[in-house]
Amino acid sequence: MIAKSERRFVRINFITIAVTLLVILAGGIVRSTGSGMGCPDWPKCFDQYIPPTDVSQLPADYRDKYVEGRLKKNEKFAKYLESMGKNELADSIRNDKSIIVPEEFNASKTWTEYINRLAGVALGIFLLITAVLSFTYRKSAKRIVVLSLLNILIVGYQGWLGSIVVSTNLTQWVVTVHMLLALVILGILIYTYNYAVMLHKEKSVIMYRIMWLKGFLAFTIIVSIIQIVIGTEVRESIDSISKALNFNERDSWVAKVGSVFVWHRDLAILVAICNVIVYKMVIDRFSGKAWSLLTANYIIIVLIIQIATGFLLSYFSLPPYAQTLHIFFATVLFTLQYYLYLLVYRTETYKPN
């Protein structure tokens, strides 16, 4: 019988996964609406816990004040990079002139960014609760405790990196690392959830070979992560192009991205093919209401949505809602793929005595 404390951990862990996805969705809305610099300081917004709604509520000389603060924080970040041997990156931060250009106040962008930050705070609280509840496994499954505590450290680093994203005026590679860390946090949550759920269950046994599915599914996950990284680079290129054109000539943005967009488009075909193959392998091996089969069905649904949003982005001038959905469902696809892998990993081929 599963203890009540363990059921509580599983429930909170699942909710935390959902909150993580909502935070990524909020981040996608911020990116697609260009609200990343809606709050020029961090963790407050215009030095206030409740953001302003009108220019008259802004602090005096806020432009000069926040540019100066950004420069000081970026100098510390540059020294941090130099300590890691990243001298060229440090110099690029110091010499980036866009950092000293203050953003004009826009109430809608300010509140969009602020709500994104509140979602991040909610995630931090749920991760803390998850870590506390994980101690119920301190004797039976120490890895759940260790990973839950590790996630607290990662989200703390993620919060600091978020402040760097703001202070560096959305420097491209920092945004990419920010996204990858979100996937790491999500991946740990999915693992601890699955491990806790399966802790008292026997491994599944089927009549068919499972090793090919395990290997190919791992390959598919890797390809999907690479696709997310390249997609982030495409998004960063779009940001640079849109700023250079003062957000005009939207129809020309995709054409100006160059080879990275071609790679992203072509790799999307490979991602689709890999997921279809995974689906075929799963339905050949599982039947009925097996969680592996249900998860594979969800993967195909999300894949169709992802292809549709990619089509809208490519041929309909990057509509903001499609950008948000594309980022969000790419993350959902990763979530389902990884969960399926964990289910399949605990499955063995029947071997007669």
> Given pLDDT bands bounded at 50, 70 and 90, which one contains residue 152?
very high
Question: b/e for 34-62, b at 16 or more Cβ within 10 A?
Answer: bbbbbbbbbeebbeeeebbeeeeeeeeeb
What is the share, in percent, of the chain residues with pLDDT greater than 70? 91
| Residue 215 pLDDT exceeds 80 | yes
Q: What was the pLDDT predicted at 102?
A: 67
- 205, β-bridge pairs: 348
What are the structure tokens assigned to 132, written together? 């506390």
| pLDDT above 80: residue 305 | yes
Supply the pLDDT for residue 166.
Answer: 61
Q: Which residue did the predictor score with more confidence, 94 or 338?
A: 338
Q: Taking phi first (over 0 means left), then psi (-120 to 50 degrees means alpha), and beta for anything else, what does residue 336 get?
A: alpha
Q: Cα separation of 151 and 154, whole Å?
A: 5
Q: How confident is the model at residue 352, as a pLDDT?
A: 65
Quick: pLDDT tens for 218-245. 999 999 999 988 888 887 777 777 777 7
The H-or-E segment that residue 206 falls in is strand 204-206
Q: 195-199, 255-259, 343-347: lowest mean pLDDT where?
A: 255-259
Residue pair 323/31 in contact (Cβ under 8 Å)? The answer is yes
189 band by pLDDT with thresholds 50, 70 and 90:
very high
SS3 at position 35: coil
- Name the least confident of 48-52, 158-162, 276-280: 158-162
Classify residue 347 by its DSSP letter: E
How sure is the predictor about 255, in pLDDT bands with cuts at 50, 70 and 90?
confident
Query: How many helices, marked H, and strands, marked E, lie in the chain?
Result: 11, 2
- Distances from the Cα of 44 to the Cα of 50, 52, 110, 300, angstroms: 8, 11, 11, 41
Residue 353 has pLDDT above 70, yes or no: no
pLDDT number for residue 342: 93
The chain-wide mean pLDDT, for the chain, equals: 84
C-alpha dist (Å) from residue 162 to 8, 63, 175, 274: 30, 20, 8, 33
pLDDT band at 295 (very low <50, low <70, confident <90, very high): very high
d(CA 32, CA 325): 10
Task: Report the amino acid identity of residue 256.
Answer: K
Greater model confidence, 145 or 39: 145
Q: Is it the case that residue 21 has pLDDT exceeding 80? A: yes
Contact 172, 36 (CB under 8 A): no
Q: Which domains does the chain have, with CATH numbers?
A: 1-201 (no CATH), 202-353 (1.20.120)
- Whether 251 has a pLDDT exceeding 90, the answer reads no
The residue written with tokens 């080879």 in the block is 259
Residue 202 is predicted with a pLDDT of: 76
- Phi-psi domain of 324 (left: phi exceeds 0; alpha: psi -120 through 50; beta: other): alpha
Q: Is the pLDDT of residue 170 over 60?
A: no
Q: What percent of the chain has pLDDT over 90?
A: 35
For 51-105, write each residue's pLDDT tens digit.
Answer: 888 888 887 777 777 777 777 777 777 787 788 787 777 777 777 776 666 667 8
* CB neighbourhood size of 181 (10 A): 16
* Residue-level pLDDT at 205: 64
